[in-house]
């Protein structure tokens, strides 16, 4: 009986402590008291409902107190709905306060839409108050005289809150500015004109309305640096001349190959003709034999023909030897 009399009160105290802990978990009395002290009406059952909906009450009550102190009309349901949609409640409230202080019209629905679209709404409001400078990469452009210019520009932009949802980002602005620089430099007759008046580039590019459809408003475009690059025109002419030379060399090589092939064909044709001559000469003795056998020529005719051939061969030999030199006909001097 003594042991049970001691364990009973301890169990009861433990049960009471656990019950109080569970109650304080579901009923954040500290936040409720803070809200009442700040003049924000938040029901205790509203806080319990947040716990049941797995919404941290601190993520809703603290921004609500901040907005109420800043003079904004924001309800608990709006903040809780934005949190359940995956938004950043604290950042949206900070953006609303910054816009209210800067007298920029920004309703809660638009701020929540901008935040849910993945853009930093607070940064957008700050950029509307304090414009941002975006520096373009080096843009290479070629004037009409073939000289390359490397241009770097600084673009001052201000966020356009009305176009933040669905508007293009910084990459589009930089691409359009680069395209405008290339077009302006390319339309110049001489690169010296661009070097003398670099502000002509910024004025021409700025007049094209490059911020249309973007989330920004371009305030100014300033040329930061202009460098002279390569002589693209001369390089292109050199490459063209080199290509034409290679084409001419290829055609000459083709003609040479055709000439060599034709020469080989003529040599083969000559050898073929010589073979036919040898073949014809080989037929001569047979023809003579047939003629003698058939009696179409006589023996004397055959000897006369041989004499004529021998005489002809002798004449050819003498003609190849040439005339006799005078020293060969001079008589030998007597030896002393």
Q: What is the mean pLDDT of each run of 10 residues along the chain (336 residues)?
A: 56 60 59 67 70 75 81 82 85 86 83 83 82 86 84 86 77 86 84 80 80 81 83 80 90 90 89 86 79 77 80 84 57 50
HEC-encoded secondary structure of the chain: CHHHHHHHHHHHHHHHHHHHHHHHHHCCHHHHHHHHHCCCCCCHHHHHHHHHCCCCHHHHHHHHHHHHHCCCCCCHHHHHHHHHCCCCHHHHHHHHHHHHHCCCCCCHHHHHHHHHCCCCHHHHHHHHHCCEEEECCCEEEECCCCEEEEEEEEEEEEECHHHCCCCECHHHHHHHHHHHHHHHHHCCCCHHHHHHCCHHHHHHHHCCCCCCCECEEEEEEEEEEEEEEEEHHHHHHHHHHHHHHHHHHHHHHHHHHHHHHHHHHHHHHHHHHHHHHHHHHHHHHHHHHHHHHHCCCCHHHHHHHHHHHHHHHHHHHHHHHCCCCHHHHCCCCCCC
Tell me what pLDDT residue 250 has: 92
CATH architecture assignment, domain 132-230: 2-Layer Sandwich (3.30)
Q: Is the dihedral of CA 7, 8, 11, 12 positive or negative?
A: negative
Model pTM above 0.75: no
CA–CA dist 84, 286 (Å, integer): 120
Tell me what pLDDT residue 336 has: 43
**What are the sequence ranges of the domains in the chain?**
20-127, 132-230, 234-307
CA–CA dist 147, 142 (Å, integer): 6
Tell me what pLDDT residue 1 has: 46
CA–CA dist 57, 62 (Å, integer): 8
The angle subtended at Cα 315 by Cα 314 and Cα 320, nearest 5°, is 100
Name 231's bridge partners: 147
């Amino acid at each position: 009986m003594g042991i049970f009399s001691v364990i009973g009160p301890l169990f009861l105290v433990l049960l009471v402590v656990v019950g109080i802990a569970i109650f304080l978990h579901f009923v954040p009395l500290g936040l409720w008291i803070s809200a009442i002290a700040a003049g924000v009406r938040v029901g205790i059952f509203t806080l319990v409902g947040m716990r049941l909906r797995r919404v941290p009450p601190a993520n809703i009550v603290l921004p609500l107190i901040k907005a109420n102190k800043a003079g904004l009309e924001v309800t608990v349901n709006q903040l809780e709905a934005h949190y359940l949609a995956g938004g950043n409640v604290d950042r949206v409230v900070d953006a609303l306060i910054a816009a209210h202080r800067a007298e920029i019209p920004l309703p809660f629905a638009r701020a929540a839409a901008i935040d849910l679209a993945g853009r930093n709404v607070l940064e957008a409001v700050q950029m509307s108050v304090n414009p941002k400078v975006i520096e373009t990469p080096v843009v290479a452009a070629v004037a009409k005289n073939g000289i390359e210019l490397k241009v770097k520009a600084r673009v001052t932009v201000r966020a356009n809150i009305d176009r933040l949802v669905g508007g293009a980002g910084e990459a589009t602005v930089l691409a359009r500015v680069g395209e405008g620089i290339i077009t302006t430099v390319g339309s110049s007759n001489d690169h010296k004109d661009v070097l003398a008046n670099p502000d002509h580039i910024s004025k021409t590019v700025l007049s094209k309305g490059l911020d249309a459809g973007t989330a920004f408003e371009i305030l100014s475009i300033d040329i930061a640096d202009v460098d002279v690059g390569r002589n693209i025109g001369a390089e292109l002419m050199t490459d063209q001349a080199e290509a034409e030379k290679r084409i001419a060399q290829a055609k000459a090589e083709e003609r040479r190959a055709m000439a060599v092939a034709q020469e080989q064909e003529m040599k083969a044709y000559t050898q073929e003709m010589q073979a036919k001559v040898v073949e014809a000469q080989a037929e001569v003795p047979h023809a003579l034999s047939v003629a003698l056998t058939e009696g179409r020529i006589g023996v004397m005719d055959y000897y006369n023909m041989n004499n004529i051939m021998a005489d002809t061969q002798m004449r050819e030999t003498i003609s190849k030897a040439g005339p006799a030199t005078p020293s060969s006909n001079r008589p030998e001097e007597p030896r002393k």
